[in-house]
Structure 1
């Protein structure tokens, strides 16, 4: 039996890829995109010590809102999924994980 049109090109994702690896990539990218809010919250916590729970509520709320916006965005998920699939394909071709490929780039002297 032939697959429905359009599904043959859609790569299969394992459960761990859909539910763990892609969301992990989303969290990392969202932290970069919300870096100002991350820095503000971190600074507040460092300055407040034990009172950070009380004093940093505003910064924490702003950070959560920023991150949640990305986590709940289907387009952002698709963007991360495409990037993940590209990295997975490169790994399958080269056998070298993306982090090691980035570290071993030749340097010009």
Structure 2
């Protein structure tokens, strides 16, 4: 899976109002989430996608990628997501609230773009 394929997969996931685990995203790209190098690579790709979305006035698409085990999403995004959001000027003092609001924004934005 290329970065472009990941972008399309994220959009399709948003349209369905769903989320993905890091492992769900990493595996098709040949990345191993047990490898620090591969985790850094995935973080970089997700960072670039969300910064691009932000620069185009759209919500942060990488909010869809959250923690989880065995393909079952169960957590909020990793610390890199919040660092990126803070760098972009978002107030992340209430991380859970920011996550929920941004996830809703992504779902709303992309579900209307069918």
Q: Give the structure-2-normalised TM-score.
A: 0.29
Higher helix share: 1
Larger radius of gyration: 1
- Larger strand proportion of the pair: 2
Answer 1 or 2: higher relative contact order, Cα 8 Å, separation at least 6. 2
